[in-house]
A and B are shown apart, each in its own frame.
Chain A
Amino acid sequence: MSVNAIRDDEHMQSVSKKATLTRLFRYLLAYKGPIVSVIIIMLLTVAISIINPLILERAVDVHIANNDFERLLKLGMFAVSINIIFVILVKLRMYLMAKISNHVLLTIRQELYSHIQKLSFNFFDSRPTGKILARIIGDVNSLKDVLSNSVTTLIPDFVTILAVVTIMIAKNWRLAMASLISLPIMALGMWYIETRSHRRWQIHRKKSSNLNAFIHEDLSGMRIIQSFTAEDETEEDFDQLLKEHRDSFMHAVILNDAFGSVIDISWGIGIICMYYTAIKILRIGSDNVGTLIAFATYISMFWRPIMNLSNFYNQLITNISGAERIFDIMDTKPDITDSETVIELPEIKGEVVFDHVSFSYDEDTKVLNDVSFRINAGETIALVGPTGAGKTTIVNLISRFYDIQEGTITIDGYDVKDVSIESLRKQMGIMTQDNFLFSGTIKDNIRYGKLDATDEEIIAAAKAVNAHDFIMKMEKGYDTELKERGAGLSIGQRQLLAFARTMVSMPKILILDEATSSIDTHTELLVQQGIEALLKGRTSFVIAHRLSTIRKADRIFVIDDGKIKEEGSSDELLAKKGLYYNLYMAQFKNL
């Protein structure tokens, strides 16, 4: 598993732009009804926009030429009334479009988030949190303008262009040709810019993500940074990332900024050709000034939407990399999934069997090598051994955090691969080494272990793990608000709360991975007494280094080099004078 460091750009699957776009716009298809309404509304508004210059033309060429002010005024009233309709239609269109695009944003973000929840540890372990966050927040936000402008810019502008071109051709095709002669120049210019700037924007997004990751980590590790007075160093790193971020932006805009200019010059050329053709070739005289004015208007009516479209295109190029990054995650397959023939694990008794289990994280080094054991329901098993021997791995496999390469793991005779992950983990109480407390009240944090737990159950769990006393000493007791990770509590107190959270669901299988490592011996004894009654009839796995913690286990497994080296009760193992005996004696070496 290669770990992506903050400074390194993320590696991504390369996908064609077209595929990304189609996928993005497929989200819009879910709103067929509203989209159709939007399109109809837009056709109407476009029609009004096209009528407007016709009115102008008529006003100049007919009414003003005929000195007919009354008709001119009437025409004016007509113009006002259709433009009032225009405003109402625009409002309706904007409302529909805002609803659609915001809703698509909501959907994409939710889909992305839900998908991330399915992913396995490999995904989270191999990249900084800040980079995943960047995709959920920043990248999704970047799609907002693209989505809301997609229908509203694309369709009316295309229609306008088509309509304008048709009218121009109908009125005078030669003049029309002359006006549009510069289109290829523009197309060439845009193509040149677009092919180059896409990659540059991709890089910019990655730099932006790096920046996000850095900020996240810096804030999370502020205590240690200040303690080691590393502020100057982090500022230096931040400066470097800022510079890369800015440079990648400049690198992209140096091309992109030419977009408007290309259009401008093509526009100018169009006008020149139009006048030249009109006067030199078609010999248009003073009686047709109105036509010329109208044509000049059409040209600007033609180029304005082209300008809009190219702006939109520009926006698309700038932000499509955001969509790519979102879909990249959505396409990441979770390593651990429910099989297709998944069944719900019925209520278990707690018998756990490992049958010739071998496992490695990265296919190279075997962390577990042909491990077999049977644990009867209700037994307490202690896992001991040097750090990095594979103790945590064994408990991770029981809860199916990883899938094994060889052998089978069964619970009450059910292969863990055949039952739904949710039904499996719900019946287990797992206390991992890093216990994360969420911001929220103490009560809510304990309730996380059993969402429908009553207050009594919560208090009972807290009492069992000896957390009740310190909770009650706080001003608001169980309603005390905790900050992220439980800031404000001592590490030991956090551990006790996490312990209570694990106990509240009364799991059939309990896994305690260094559950009391930060708790003083005295409190630990109280915790042990408190949970003793609760543990009766439950299978439990205990990992601990303090041997006083594990002595009472029914059986002790000594793990080393991915194998169970010794097995038996504490007394039996001590009598053996083997590994356990050495570990046991080690704690007295310092005496």
Chain B
Amino acid sequence: MKKKISWYIFKYWYTYLFAILCIIIAVTLDLLSPQVTKRIIDNVIVGGDLDLLPRLLLLVFMIGLGRFIFQYVKELLFDINSSKIAAGMRKDLFQHIQSLSLSFFDKNNTGELMSRVKDDIDQIWKAVGFVSMLIIEVAIHTTIVLYCMYNLSPKLAIIPTIMLPVMAGLAVFMERKLGKIFEEISEENAQLNTVAQENLSGVRTVKAFAREKFEIQKFLSRNKRYYELNMKQSKVFIKYYPYFQFVTKLLPMIIIIIGGYQVIQGEISLGTLGAFTEYSMNIVWPMEMLGWLSNEFASAIASNKRIKKIYEEKPLITEIDNPILLDEVKGAIKFNHVSFSIDNKLILNDISFNLPPGKTIGIMGATGTGKSSIINLLQRFYDATEGEIELDGINIKNLSLKQLRKNISLVMQDVFLFSDTISENVKMGDRYHIKKHEIIEAATYSQSRDFIEKMEDQYETIVGERGVGLSGGQKQRISIARALAKKAPILVLDDSTSALDMETEHLIQKALSQIEATKIIIAHRISAVKNADEIIILDEGRIAERGTHETLLGEKGYYYDTYIAQYGEYLDELKKDAVSDPEEVAECL
């Protein structure tokens, strides 16, 4: 739902209108002063009518007061509007970005997206705020001044009338020239952000390799490029901007010369020339400002273009028009000849399995064979290229995306915790419904209660970004608690106990077996999948072996090898106790 900037502006048209009204009043008042000056000179000084003076001076004061009020109101109104527009645009852009699919985030760097939501919107904020205020002011001001000038002396007024379009043309021309450079600057700003962002996120790696100097150099080259682009922009600006000043210096001169000629000829009075000169002073600063304004405007337009690009991205995963909303999710999962490829690379190849509600499937396999992709497909982070995935007998593509995802609780392989309290992290996704006792329950199941309750603030302890400050095992356990707290009918554990010691893992496995849910367990440890109703072994995206613990041991394939690698020695110990064959051992166990 891309909205154009104009949409946001029109949303506040009445306040803008009111603000413009204030400008008109303020400018009019501003321009009344030369009229008063004229009367002071013509009537009071030349005419000698001194009684008029107090009234005229009071008028000057009233004008000042009026301007005081209307200037303030107009500035405030523009600030109110522009900040509302900026907040609104930011909100919508954020919402749009959140709706995009994972493949978008795979391709775009965090630092870049950040600078769109932050810096680029800031530029637009400026443009719809004081920049447009000044542009409107300049326009109104010039119109009124011109009107007054025509009233005073139509002949003299021709001079500024000719100059104005020239100036305006120059401003537009300059804006075009600058626009391209500002786009580059905005791009480079994003790059700068990206480099810094990566460096800060990877600070442990940087320090471990003592690569600080290398990183400083990397940043320096970006920083320098940013400097060069800014200089490029300055040069263009310098090329044109002084002409605005030149014209503004010259205009009063020309008027004096030509007007002076007319005075000499007796066509106009000296007072008229005085007032006209003052008007011309009044018309020059808006013109001078025009140059600077078009610079600011160019920058905002460039930013807007960048933002538009993000709006052009459409979420790849979308719901059908009338998605099915299940009354109750039971948790039956079926993969029917599912294949999946990214960029023509086959990730999953003809995967089929049937997982009735409450049952458990274990998935094993070498790294990079597509285990996590199965979960990505199930939660519809990507769509399968071939085959269907069904939940409770319905193709997941026809289901409500939200319902689908909400009913699958995931423990991710690389744990991500938010820098918030532990309890907020556990509640995340359903924060208005999860009660304190449910958090504690989930913590108990995930064996995290002990260490959490040892902390000073317990569940209200703030964890650092990504869980900094906690050990790897502690992070994993909170992440398990987060998934369990949702009490979803489907639980997915993606290598979620890798950082835990054996003892703790054992306790968690025991606890998990009591939880009633359809479970998908990806693991490298035999102990994690051993009790599953079915175990599948992936190899290069295909199912290479499948069966239960017992039948797979019998096949003497990958599963058996893994088993021997992990437990072989223990079996050797047992062998000493006169059991000769590992298979028999397995049966014994």
Contact = CB atoms under 8 A, between A and B. Distances in A.
A79 B257 CA distance: 11
Interface stretch (A382-390, A410-418, A531-539): A382-390
Given A55-B253, A275-B57, A520-B367, A60 B260 contact: yes
A579 to B, nearest CB: 10
7 contacts: A52-B253, A225-B98, A268-B61, A448-B214, A483-B107, A517-B498, A521-B562
Interface in B199-252: 199-216, 219-220, 223-224, 226-227, 230-231, 234-235, 237-239, 241-243, 245-246, 249-250, 252
A446 to B, nearest CB: 12
A239 interface: yes
Of A133, A220, A239, the most chain B CB neighbours within 10 A belong to: A133
Contacts of A280: 50, 53
Given A124-B200, A401-B207, A484-B110, A264 B68 contact: yes
Contacts of A6: 419-420
A130 B114 contact: yes
B210 A425 contact: yes
A556 interface: no
A209 B522 CA distance: 39
A483 B106 contact: yes
B316 interface: no
Contacts of B60: 268, 271-272, 275
Contact of B405 (A229, A496, A519): A229
A434 B558 CA distance: 29
A279 B40 contact: yes
Of B207, B246, B495, the most chain A CB neighbours within 10 A belong to: B207
Contact of A220 (B110, B281, B500): B110
B64 A128 contact: no
B45 A124 contact: no
A438 interface: yes
B197 A129 contact: yes
B532 to A, nearest CB: 12
A138 to B, nearest CB: 7
Contact of A64 (B214, B263, B504, B569): B263
Contacts, number: 496
B64 A222 contact: no
Interface stretch (A153-161, A285-293, A350-358, A373-381): A285-293
Given A114-B216, A265-B67, A279-B40, A230 B429 contact: yes
Interface stretch (A19-27, A194-202, A246-254): A246-254
Contacts of B31: none
A348 interface: no
A228 interface: yes
Contacts of B372: 490-491
A137 B115 contact: yes
A44 interface: no
A449 interface: yes
A90 B242 contact: yes
B381 interface: yes
Contact of A133 (B65, B114, B565): B114
Contact of B256 (A59, A221, A304): A59
Contacts of B542: none
A529 interface: no
A105 interface: yes
Given A73-B257, A87-B243, A224-B416, A67 B264 contact: yes
B523 to A, nearest CB: 9
B572 to A, nearest CB: 12
Contacts of B209: 425-426, 430, 448-449, 501
Contacts of B135: none
Contact of A583 (B115, B499, B502): B502
Interface residues of B, number: 181
B431 interface: yes
Interface string A88-128: 10110011001100110110011001101110010011101
Of B80, B117, B379, B463, the most chain A CB neighbours within 10 A belong to: B117
Contact of B260 (A59, A262, A292, A438): A59
Contacts of A340: none
B278 A250 contact: no
B186 to A, nearest CB: 11
Given A3-B419, A3-B463, A254-B76, A520 B365 contact: yes
Contacts of B278: 293, 296-297
Interface string A500-530: 0100000000000010011111110100000
B429 A228 contact: yes
Contact of B67 (A99, A229, A264, A525): A264
B118 A90 contact: no
A260 interface: yes
A492 to B, nearest CB: 3
A136 interface: yes
B418 A221 contact: yes
Nearest to A498: B205
A203 B586 CA distance: 66
A5 interface: yes
Given A387-B504, A439-B198, A228 B207 contact: no
Contacts of A105: 227, 230
A580 to B, nearest CB: 11
B395 to A, nearest CB: 19
B248 to A, nearest CB: 10
B211 A448 contact: yes
Given A221-B416, A436-B205, 20 more contacts: A64-B270, A94-B241, A113-B223, A117-B199, A121-B203, A228-B486, A264-B64, A265-B64, A269-B64, A272-B64, A386-B504, A387-B471, A387-B473, A392-B471, A433-B472, A439-B194, A490-B367, A517-B499, A523-B366, A583-B502
Contacts of A134: 118
A138 B527 CA distance: 50
Given A212-B114, A514-B499, A523-B366, A590 B506 contact: yes
A405 interface: no
Contacts of A272: 57, 60-61, 64
B12 interface: no
B500 A5 contact: no
Given A125-B468, A250-B83, A588-B570, A83 B230 contact: no
Given A98-B231, A547-B502, A279 B45 contact: yes
A407 interface: no
A215 B118 contact: yes
B227 A242 contact: no
A228 B428 contact: yes
B91 interface: yes
A238 B204 contact: no
A569 interface: no
B501 A94 contact: no
Contacts of B105: 219, 222-223, 487
A224 B163 CA distance: 60
Of A228, A265, A498, the most chain B CB neighbours within 10 A belong to: A228
Given A87-B243, A239-B91, A546-B566, A5 B419 contact: yes
A99 B238 CA distance: 12
B249 A523 contact: no
A422 interface: yes
Contacts of B368: 470, 489-490, 492-493
Contact of B189 (A3, A137, A492): A137
Given A6-B420, A64-B270, A387-B474, A264 B114 contact: no
Contacts of B472: 387, 433, 514, 517
A426 B50 CA distance: 90
B71 A217 contact: no
B330 interface: no
Listed from nearest, the 6 A-B pairs whose CB atoms lie closest are A268-B64, A492-B367, A387-B473, A228-B429, A436-B202, A98-B234
B562 A388 contact: no
A124 B203 contact: yes
A286 B271 CA distance: 10
A302 to B, nearest CB: 13
